[in-house]
Structure 1
Amino acid sequence: MKKAFRAAFPVTVPVLLGYLFVGLAFGVLLRQGGYGPLWAAGMSAAVYAGSMQFVMLNFLGGGFSLVQVALMTLAVNFRHLFYGLSFTERFRQMGKKRWYMIYALTDETYSLLCSQRAPEGVEQGQFFFAIALLDELYWIAGAVLGTVVGGLLPFDTTGIDFAMTALFIVIAVEQWQAYKSRFPALWGAGCALACLLLLGPDKFLIPALLLAVLGLLACSRPIVKKLGEEGEQ
């Protein structure tokens, strides 16, 4: 496991930088709501869904039923159902660690698991586990730090959440460079753009994901063949 964590740390540095800043913003907002570091650590460890944690800040004020909370959580994190489809077999081979991997499969962790391979001498399952655990620790650290800083040095956090967008861009560029097959990236971008134009920013995400998954499933054999050829090279 020590080798796995040493190998995983360099590839998770982009997530570290993104999570620290976005977690910091969440922690500051949580502090403004009257909650301290223990709340930040507990929420980040138990919920661990960056966008949903920001939504939860509204729930803490009351006025929402459990049904509303459940539906909002499903809508915000519905995309995670698709993430797990491509890792079902790999997670099954990881034994008891699979339960944590299912829980910790965030957007950024999913992107790293798709693009990274364990170096020689490191078991793939342990490498994946190290990536997932490090990513969660980064998020918890950022949130806790935000509550501390928010209590000592109040400041304007306008625009700080762009760190997450920047993080997605960096990971997308890395995946674009890692694979010669451009179809999955282009197809996903095309589906997102088409649904955005047709449905608007509030309703495009789930239809875009469905369309992207259906298209990739239909073309899965040539894509897998292409990726296999890249691996052999």
Structure 2
Amino acid sequence: MTTKKEILKYAFIQTLPVLFGYVFMGIAFGILLEEAGYNFVWALFISLTVYSGSMQFVLIGLLGGGMGIISMIILTLSVQCRHIFYGLSFIEKFKAMGKRGWYMVFSLTDETYSLLCGMKIPEELNKKKVFFAVAVLDQSYWVLGCTIGGILGSFIGFDTTGIDFAMTALFVVIFIEQWYSFPSHIPAIIGICCGTAALIIFGANAFILPALIASVCLLLLLKNTIVKQDDCQEACE
């Protein structure tokens, strides 16, 4: 019988890369929001209710721009539409989590999704509870960073040039961890190739959705091959 402490400890270790990325990015958001005229209370509220790094940074510009509700909804969908693909692969798992499943849907960010896909949870731990702990910890890091940034921004002036690279570094760390954790490198190679091709064809502002669609299609086509590679590697070990 595993304890909550063991589950929390495992989830915390798994989310350490997210901790550093989210806290620094959250601080950047809080500082920028403070510079836009909104104190740390707003940073806390937005990070609790919106909880979307890319959309929160876009929101800073929208707050004083007078954009209409319809336009804002369309913009939000265009920025966050990739999450549709994330949710599809976890529908059944989240349903099985009962009321906690609703929070899992809300909290499924890029980084949380990467962790949930890449973790090899020990058999003695409750998988549903580990998933929930990871999601809660990830949002806690983000809320903490945003709040700290809002507080610091009200007292100290910051040059935030380059701080957004923390998110790029976070994805690199997660990618490397998954590369070494899984026997088959086909999913990673597909992601690199589709992302690069979409970036060249569609440009930096519109490549995410085409890259995701292409990646999902190729993964579905090569699903059996990937599974066979994993099974063969596990048998050899």
TM range (shorter): over 0.9
Output aligned runs, 1:20-31, within 5 Å.
Answer: 20-31=23-34
Aligned equivalent of 2:206: 203
Output aligned runs, 1:1-233, within 5 Å.
Answer: 1-230=4-233, 233=237
The residue matched to 2:121 in structure 1 has which SS?
A: coil
Q: What one-letter code is carried by the residue in structure 2 that aligns with 1:113?
A: L
Q: What one-letter code is carried by the residue in structure 2 that aligns with 1:192?
A: G
**Root-mean-square deviation over aligned CA pairs:** 1.3
C-alpha distance in 2 between matches for 1:114 and 1:3: 20
Identity, % of aligned positions? 48
The answer (yes or no) to whether the contact 1:14–1:170 under 8 Å persists in 2 is yes
C-alpha distance in 1 between matches for 2:166 and 2:234: 32
Q: What one-letter code is carried by the residue in structure 1 that aligns with 2:223?
A: S
Query: CA distance change for structure 1 residues 70 and 230 in 2, over 3 Å: closer, same or farther?
Result: farther
Could you tell me the TM-score, scaled by structure 1's length? 0.96
The residue matched to 1:63 in structure 2 has which SS?
A: coil
The answer (yes or no) to whether the contact 1:47–1:53 under 8 Å persists in 2 is yes
Regions of 4+ moved over 6 Å = none
The answer (yes or no) to whether the contact 1:179–1:230 under 8 Å persists in 2 is no
C-alpha distance in 2 between matches for 1:134 and 1:231: 31
C-alpha distance in 2 between matches for 1:146 and 1:3: 31
C-alpha distance in 1 between matches for 2:48 and 2:86: 20
Q: What one-letter code is carried by the residue in structure 1 that aligns with 2:163?
A: I
After superposition, the C-alpha distances for 1:146-190 in whole angstroms (9 at most, x for unaligned) are 011111111101100100000000000000010110111101110
Q: What one-letter code is carried by the residue in structure 2 that aligns with 1:177?
A: Y
Query: Which runs of 5 or more residues in structure 2 are unaligned?
Result: none
C-alpha distance in 2 between matches for 1:82 and 1:228: 25
| 1:200 Cα deviation after fit | 1.5
| 1:221 Cα deviation after fit | 2.1
C-alpha distance in 1 between matches for 2:105 and 2:56: 18
Q: What one-letter code is carried by the residue in structure 1 that aligns with 2:148?
A: L
